[in-house]
Structure 1
Amino acid sequence: MQKFILSNKTIITVLGALLIAFGFTGEIVFHQEQLAMWSFILASVLAGAPIAIQAYQALKVKVVSIDVLVTLAVIGAFFIRNFEESAVVTFLFLFGAYLEQRTLQKTRSAIKELTEMAPESALKQTDSGEFEEVAVDDVDVGDTLLVKTGSKVPVDGTVLTGEGYINEASITGEAVPVGKKMGSQVFAGTILENGTLQIVADRVGEDTTFGRIIELVEEAQDSKSEAERFIDRFSKYYTPAVLVLSTLVWVFSQNMELAITILVLGCPGALVIGVPVSHVAGIGNGARHGVLLKGSEVIHDFSRVDTIVFDKTGTLTAGNPTVADTQYYAFDTQKTLGYLSSVERESDHPLAKAIVQHLGPVDAYVVQKTDVVAGGGIVAEVDGHRVAVGNVALMETLGVTIPQNGRKDIARFEARGNSLVLTAVDGQLSVLMGIRDQIRPGVKEHLQALKKLGVKHLVVLSGDNQGTVDLVSKQLGLTEAHGHMLPQDKAAFIKTLQSEGRIVAFVGDGVNDSPSLALAQIGIAMGSGTDVAIETSDVVLMNSDFSRLPHALGLAKATASNMRQNIAIAVGVVLVLLASVFFSEWMNMSIGMLVHEASILVVILNGMRLLRYRLKRRK
């Protein structure tokens, strides 16, 4: 019976409204007092049943909920034969709960839309070479899949054949189609707008970028901030306190109606719902715009950030550097370049890729005993020679002799804004290369937007030489720039900033950034970075879109402000209602419940404004 009643609360609410309307019509129009009284009694009992059941369920787990207060108020109203107000109170309570549920569903629409975008089937190539439709759960890594125009990409993969344009809004938040061809990366949940592609599955199921987005957003929406935890604790003691206050008022005043009115007015509904609705709406907005905020606590801390520290390569710069200057010191240049190319093929660092691409087809050698020096480079044995490839600090550590003309070349290359890669064979400098990376388009404007949002300090840390870092800093108008920074140096620098009382956010994309991402109050990962960086971070900018950063900070500030507004509205309404009981003539149960439900809807609607939040573009 309890399950039946609770599952039909909407029907009960409608019946209660009809009975109340019938009662007032009988009383006012036809002057049928008895008919009106029985209509109000029936409405009270009918609408009060689900409230009483919820109160009973709460008391079973030793919780004095809002339902308990309303149930006691209705029983008290029956005791003093105020059937009209008990009917109105129960109806308003159920109707308010219905409106709350409907509006809260809208705040969770972002995650609902995401889950609905998840692909359910795929066209998988069989042993015979034909493609057959299978459930997406039956796709394994390495399978070849066919994606047709208008279909969802079922997995993260690489294009084998075909060309087309894909809408990646579910991943990046941008609806502008992106061209794909052989070798291009595609993501699950995106839509092929035209063309036909054959892809090989690289990641499937929950391991896809889309699957991880859904998981992160769900975890974020289920998390609670310190403010929410405080309100939960507050409500746990506040609701019984209202019950005690109502009892004391009745004991000392013998005014049952006044005591019952206090029970109704003291309901903390708006206070309990105000912060979570802001939290959910803010995270939902971020998910729609390519920003993953991992929880309410993250939003609170991010909104207070005054210092943002950036890694350079792949964050402020595009991460696609090219060789700009070269100087040779070895007699057998061709063989040395073969050693260099062979060693750099062992690395996935952007500078290494730039060198391999620049050198093109050269003689290849077997690389043995590779030793990767964090923040320095690589030392390996090649063709019986000890080959070191890295920065100046690595050469000095290994005792490599750098001639006077080499030092002049280093200074000259640095002045041009190059990152330096030195190659030494058997302790002798052989090749010096200067590599330059392009600053991301629009980064300077986005950094200015961060300043306008209240960020006082913009700092760049890089393992690159100081000249290159200074040049980038000057171009972008940063506050500080520090080069020759190893991963542990970056972490130590962040600790220093925190010891000065700063609230620090760190933005990076590599494995070596993970310690700094974890140490900063807010770690922000570029979405095309490594899995470790994304898992370690608090905020993820999908598709490495730097323009999302000002939106993310603005959204965090707007969400934190919205939470404070909702708390102020909720507390203010309760104080006004309770004060009006003692200092006014007009307050009663029905008006109190109406204002109470209205305040809940106000905080919900206020929170829902965050779903439409967009950072204002400044001229």
Structure 2
Amino acid sequence: MTLIGRYPLVAATLLCAAVVAGLLLFGYPEAAQWTASLYSLLVAARLAWDMVRQLLRGHWGIDLLAVTAVVSTVVVGEYIASLIIVLMLSGGRALEDFAQGRAQRELSALLERAPMTAHRERAGEPPEEISVDEVRPDDVLLVRPAEVVPVDGTLLSGFGSFDESALTGESLPVERTAGQDVMSGALNGQAAVRIRATAAAEDSQYSRIVALVREASASRAPVVRLADRYAVPFTAFAFLLAGAAWLFSGDPARFAEVLVVATPCPLLIAAPVAFVGGMGRAAKSGIIIKNGGTLEKLSRVKVAAFDKTGTLTGGRPVLLEIRPAGAAGARLGPDGLLRLAASAEQYSSHVLAASVMEAAADRGLELQAAAEAEEAATHGVAAQIGGHAVVVGKPAFVANRSRGVERTPLASGEMAVYVAVDGDFAGTLVMSDAVRPNAASVLGQLRALGVEETLMLTGDARETAGHIAAEVGLTRVQAECLPADKVETVRSLPHRPVMMVGDGVNDAPVLAAADVGVAMGAKGSTAASESADVVIMLDDLSKVPRAVEIGRRSVKVALESIWIGIALSIGLMVLAALGFVPAVAGALFQELVDLATILNALRALGPGRTTAAAAVPAAREPRYSDSVP
């Protein structure tokens, strides 16, 4: 679209200014005044109509000041000033579009690079170019050098190098080998590779990111609505000062001169620019913030709650030891106990189930199908395997379906899967899920950013949760809780806002219940990502304090910009009331005020000061909650 088509009022105002300049140049000052005055009054009438419609919708603004400034300058004969005001107002949208475009650059980059086509291979045929929407799972695709991977897939070529910086914020290319997953949206390196599609376009990672970015781009932050409310007292003050200047000076031109500098676009532009800039900055760091309101909440977070497995820990537990117990355990032996447990775990969705099955596969144990199986979410699974009644899971779950359980001692970071066979306790599988190396540092950074309390909400056993909490320095632990317990805990916490960080399907309810839900990991659960307010694309816990820091900086810059605009405008109004700022000069000064505040708002795009890892206090015994508070 041309400039004239996009900003017709700007084009019309510039044309009118050219006509007025020509009339003045050729000696027709009265015609110039009539032309400028008539045009300015027509624009003022349009603004007045728009203002009435906004008032009927319940939105206050500063259009009343603009309309009064235009009319008053026309009445006192300052028609050049009235034309400058009209140009300032009509150019405000162009200036806002520029600033918003600059602030939205990182968000727009993700949308613009969305793949549109793919190259599908079929036996005996050359690769055909198809729309990315035509790709189906199991299609073999050729990804040429410097092309964007169109859908999620598995690498068929022996080796590939991919730039995932637009997705995760990780600047270094990542290397993949045959059989490893490749994320849609990643930029291929210098060699063509072949992948096998594992998802259609609409189900691929990049499409979900694009949907999140579109949602973020369309959002409106509470602080922006707050800026609108500033307009009411500001408008009242401007009219009072202008009226007082007229009263004490006896010059009606003084009224117009005050109002000329009382039309601050910063109230309408600076805050949205700062918030969009903050979301763009977050996107560049691999953090998708779904809406502007989340930035405001992030800046005030008082409590940070974490899931354990996959969030504070790596999420990939490994089998450390098999401890058979009793006559049943002695009869089965370590491999027999593991084989039965893994066969039952085939019917469980718990993260430990996958680790148990993987351990059995590593030992070459063949799993058996169950005649029947029943899972109790987060607690365990009971199944009929090869004529045996097998129960696997937490101690309480196994004890309720057998003749007792012997609790096994655990070291720091260890967890136990309890097994009963035919009603008798048969032993435990000791697993270990190592704490993330930066977990303690992350909690220290959050405390440095003003987070007053940190807690863990987990379905795991109390002993395991306690070891992890003490190691990373958490202040409170609630263990052995169901998803509903987590939701109730978060809702009942007295200090707000509450941020919840998790990654799994069972975290979706509590992420939705928290004031700020943060979903970890680019390949995390779709349900968790949809429920969360913040989605961290890289599986990096340090992005959590980074998101809080970006929220704090964005709000700070937005409020600074608003108050800078108000302060400069009030200063100019006082000078104009005293007779030091003529109408034409005031209109030009106001343009400079607008530019200064918008440039300040664009600071939200910058990195700011990175919070240094706070010193982590010595580990202390965490406070436990055995029941929902």
Quickly say closer, same or farther: Cα 1:550–1:234, change in 2 above 3 A: closer
**1:547 paired residue among 542, 550, 554:** 542
Stretch of structure 1 that moved more, 276-285 or 447-456: 447-456
SS at structure 2 position matched to 1:304:
coil
Query: Is the 8 Å Cα contact of residues 350 and 378 (structure 2) preserved in structure 1?
Result: no
Match of 1:470 in 2: 466
Aligned counterparts, 1:127-146, within 5 A: 129-146=125-142
**1:282 paired residue among 270, 274, 278:** 278
1:318-377 deviation per Cα after TM superposition (whole angstroms, max 9, x unaligned): 111111121123203354433222122233433222222222222332213322122211
SS at structure 2 position matched to 1:203:
coil
**1:591 paired residue among 585, 591, 594:** 585
How far, CA to CA, are the matches of 1:298 and 1:60 in structure 2? 29
How far, CA to CA, are the matches of 1:226 and 1:92 in structure 2? 27
SS at structure 1 position matched to 2:593:
helix
Aligned counterparts, 1:123-522, within 5 A: 123-126=119-122, 129-232=125-228, 235=231, 255-329=251-325, 330=329, 331-333=331-333, 334-360=335-361, 361-402=364-405, 406-407=406-407, 410-411=408-409, 414-496=410-492, 498=493, 500-522=494-516
Query: Is the 8 Å Cα contact of residues 41 and 87 (structure 1) preserved in structure 2?
Result: no
Match of 1:575 in 2: 570
How far, CA to CA, are the matches of 1:523 and 1:56 in structure 2? 42
Aligned counterparts, 1:557-576, within 5 A: 557-576=552-571
Post-superposition offset of 1:156: 1.8
Post-superposition offset of 1:192: 0.7
Quickly say closer, same or farther: Cα 1:494–1:263, change in 2 above 3 A: same
Query: Is the 8 Å Cα contact of residues 246 and 263 (structure 1) preserved in structure 2?
Result: yes
Specify the code of the residue in structure 1 equivalent to 2:338: L
Post-superposition offset of 1:316: 1.1
How far, CA to CA, are the matches of 1:127 and 1:236 in structure 2? 70
SS at structure 2 position matched to 1:598:
helix
Match of 2:81 in 1: 85
Stretch of structure 1 that moved more, 75-84 or 282-291: 75-84
How far, CA to CA, are the matches of 1:612 and 1:479 in structure 2? 33
Normalised by the length of structure 1, the TM-score is 0.87
Query: Is the 8 Å Cα contact of residues 310 and 461 (structure 1) preserved in structure 2?
Result: yes
Specify the code of the residue in structure 2 equivalent to 1:521: D
Post-superposition offset of 1:516: 2.0
Stretch of structure 1 that moved more, 268-277 or 384-393: 268-277
1:255-290 deviation per Cα after TM superposition (whole angstroms, max 9, x unaligned): 442333344333242112222111111111111111
Post-superposition offset of 1:305: 1.2
Post-superposition offset of 1:530: 0.8
Residues 1:600 and 2:594 are matched in the alignment: yes
Gaps of 5+ in 2: 614-629
Match of 2:619 in 1: none
1:531-556 deviation per Cα after TM superposition (whole angstroms, max 9, x unaligned): 11111111111132212112111101
SS at structure 2 position matched to 1:505:
strand
Specify the code of the residue in structure 2 equivalent to 1:355: V
Post-superposition offset of 1:48: 7.7
How far, CA to CA, are the matches of 2:135 and 2:269 in structure 1? 42
Query: Is the 8 Å Cα contact of residues 217 and 283 (structure 1) preserved in structure 2?
Result: no
Query: Is the 8 Å Cα contact of residues 103 and 280 (structure 2) preserved in structure 1?
Result: yes
SS at structure 1 position matched to 2:400:
helix
SS at structure 1 position matched to 2:288:
strand
Post-superposition offset of 1:425: 0.8
Stretch of structure 1 that moved more, 422-431 or 326-335: 326-335
Quickly say closer, same or farther: Cα 1:288–1:21, change in 2 above 3 A: farther
Post-superposition offset of 1:557: 0.7
Post-superposition offset of 1:504: 1.9
How far, CA to CA, are the matches of 1:141 and 1:417 in structure 2? 39
Query: Is the 8 Å Cα contact of residues 261 and 586 (structure 2) preserved in structure 1?
Result: yes
Please identify which structure carries the higher helix content.
1
Post-superposition offset of 1:53: 4.9
1:40-88 deviation per Cα after TM superposition (whole angstroms, max 9, x unaligned): 7656667887676555555566678656654553344333332333344
Query: Is the 8 Å Cα contact of residues 100 and 601 (structure 1) preserved in structure 2?
Result: no
Normalised by the length of structure 2, the TM-score is 0.85
Match of 2:621 in 1: none
Aligned counterparts, 1:102-117, within 5 A: 102-117=98-113
SS at structure 1 position matched to 2:450:
coil
Match of 1:610 in 2: 604
1:352-411 deviation per Cα after TM superposition (whole angstroms, max 9, x unaligned): 222222222223322133221222111112223221111212122324423xxx44xx01
Quickly say closer, same or farther: Cα 1:105–1:21, change in 2 above 3 A: farther
How far, CA to CA, are the matches of 2:284 and 2:137 in structure 1? 28
Quickly say closer, same or farther: Cα 1:71–1:473, change in 2 above 3 A: closer
Specify the code of the residue in structure 2 equivalent to 1:593: A
Query: Is the 8 Å Cα contact of residues 99 and 273 (structure 2) preserved in structure 1?
Result: no
Quickly say closer, same or farther: Cα 1:69–1:488, change in 2 above 3 A: closer
Query: Is the 8 Å Cα contact of residues 16 and 47 (structure 1) preserved in structure 2?
Result: no
Post-superposition offset of 1:107: 1.0
**2:524 paired residue among 529, 533, 545:** 529
Quickly say closer, same or farther: Cα 1:243–1:136, change in 2 above 3 A: farther
How far, CA to CA, are the matches of 1:442 and 1:59 in structure 2? 55
Quickly say closer, same or farther: Cα 1:441–1:598, change in 2 above 3 A: same
Quickly say closer, same or farther: Cα 1:61–1:275, change in 2 above 3 A: closer
